[in-house]
A = this chain, B = another copy of it.
Amino acid sequence: MFDQAPEAAAAAAQATPSRPRIVIVGAGFGGLAAAKALAGIDADVTLVDRRNYHLFQPLLYQVATAGLSPAQIATPIRAIVADAANVRVLMGRVNGIDATRRMVRLEERELPYDYLVLATGARHSYFGRDEWEHCAPGLKKIDDATEIRRRILTAFEHAETEEDADKRRRLLNFVVIGAGPTGVEMAGAIAELARRALASDFRTIDPRQARIVLVEAGPRVLAAFPQKLSAWTARTLGKLGVEVMLGKAVTSCDAEGVVVGDERIPAATVIWAAGVAASPASKWLSADADRAGRLKVLSDLSVPGHPEIFAIGDTALSLDENDKPYPGLAPVAKQQGEYVARLLKARLQGKTPAGRFRYRDFGTMATIGRGAAVAKFSERFQVTGFIAWVLWGLVHIFFLIGFRNRLTVLADWLWSYVTFQSGARLITGKNSE
Residues of A within 8 A of B (CB): 50-53, 69-72, 74, 76, 78-79, 82, 88-92, 108-109, 141-143, 146, 153-154, 157-158, 160-161, 198, 200-203, 404, 407-408, 411-412, 415, 421, 423-429, 432-433
With A and B bound together, what is the CA distance between A146 and B143 in angstroms?
A: 12
Specify which of B71, B72, B88 is in contact with A203 (CB 8 Å cutoff). Answer: B88
Chain B contacts of A88 at CB under 8 A? 203
Check if A76 sits within 8 Å of B408, measured CB to CB.
Answer: no
Q: Shortest CB–CB separation between residue A134 and chain B, in angstroms?
A: 16
Find the B residue at minimum CB distance from A75: B425
Check if A404 sits within 8 Å of B408, measured CB to CB.
Answer: no
Check if A433 sits within 8 Å of B71, measured CB to CB.
Answer: no
23 contacts between A and B (CB under 8 A): A51-B427, A52-B153, A52-B425, A69-B69, A69-B70, A69-B71, A69-B424, A71-B426, A74-B426, A76-B425, A79-B425, A82-B200, A90-B160, A91-B154, A91-B158, A91-B160, A91-B427, A108-B161, A141-B433, A143-B428, A143-B429, A404-B415, A407-B411
Check if B427 sits within 8 Å of A52, measured CB to CB.
Answer: yes
Once A52-B153, A69-B69 are accepted as A-B contacts, the answer to whether A142 and B426 lie under 8 Å apart by CB is yes
Q: Shortest CB–CB separation between residue A26 and chain B, in angstroms?
A: 14
Chain B contacts of A425 at CB under 8 A? 52-53, 71, 76, 79
Once A90-B160, A201-B79 are accepted as A-B contacts, the answer to whether A143 and B423 lie under 8 Å apart by CB is no
With A and B bound together, what is the CA distance between A82 and B421 in angstroms?
A: 12
With A and B bound together, what is the CA distance between A86 and B249 in angstroms?
A: 45
With A and B bound together, what is the CA distance between A203 and B50 in angstroms?
A: 18
With A and B bound together, what is the CA distance between A161 and B160 in angstroms?
A: 50
With A and B bound together, what is the CA distance between A52 and B201 in angstroms?
A: 11
Chain B contacts of A51 at CB under 8 A? 427, 432
Chain B contacts of A78 at CB under 8 A? 198, 201-202
Find the B residue at minimum CB distance from A85: B203
Check if B432 sits within 8 Å of A82, measured CB to CB.
Answer: no
Chain B contacts of A161 at CB under 8 A? 90-92, 108-109
Q: Shortest CB–CB separation between residue A46 and chain B, in angstroms?
A: 10
Once A411-B408, A429-B143 are accepted as A-B contacts, the answer to whether A71 and B424 lie under 8 Å apart by CB is yes
With A and B bound together, what is the CA distance between A411 and B406 in angstroms?
A: 13
With A and B bound together, what is the CA distance between A146 and B71 in angstroms?
A: 12
Check if A427 sits within 8 Å of B201, measured CB to CB.
Answer: no
Once A142-B428, A407-B411, A412-B404 are accepted as A-B contacts, the answer to whether A76 and B109 lie under 8 Å apart by CB is no
Find the B residue at minimum CB distance from A146: B428
Check if B90 sits within 8 Å of A143, measured CB to CB.
Answer: no
Chain B contacts of A72 at CB under 8 A? 69
Find the B residue at minimum CB distance from A425: B76
Chain B contacts of A200 at CB under 8 A? 82
